[in-house]
Amino acid sequence: MFAAMGSERHSVPSFGKAGRNERRKAIATTLNALAVALVISAVVQPLTSGRLNMGLVVGALAFFLVLQGFLHYVLARVED
């Protein structure tokens, strides 16, 4: 009984076009949220407290641009 159950293969359902688009939009939304959180924590907060570290600002802005680039790459693959 248990041997027969273990030998069954469960196929992973394939996503349709709408499912793939929703997954891509969710990934893009997550990347955007991470980028905004990074800018707020590494740039805005130190700027308002008066303890601005220019190296951290440059690194955070560079990483922000990289995340935004990934976001645009993901969204460019959304199917019509």
Q: What is the pLDDT of residues 26-49, one digit of tens each?
A: 999 999 999 999 999 988 898 899
User: What is the CB-side half-sphere exposure of residue 76 using CA atoms within 13 A?
Assistant: 6
What does pLDDT average to over the chain?
86
Kindly state the average pLDDT of the residues 37-62. 90
Domain boundary assignment for the chain: 17-76
pLDDT > 70: what percent of the chain? 84
- Whole-angstrom distance between the N-terminal and C-terminal Cα of the chain? 47
- Kindly report which listed range (1-15, 38-52, 53-67) carries the lowest average pLDDT score: 1-15
CA angle at residue 23 from 20 to 28, to 5 degrees?
Answer: 125
* Overall average pLDDT of the 57-65 stretch: 92
Write the DSSP string, 8-61.
Answer: PPPPPPPP-HHHHHHHHHHHHHHHHHHHHHHHIIIIIHHHHHT---HHHHHHHH
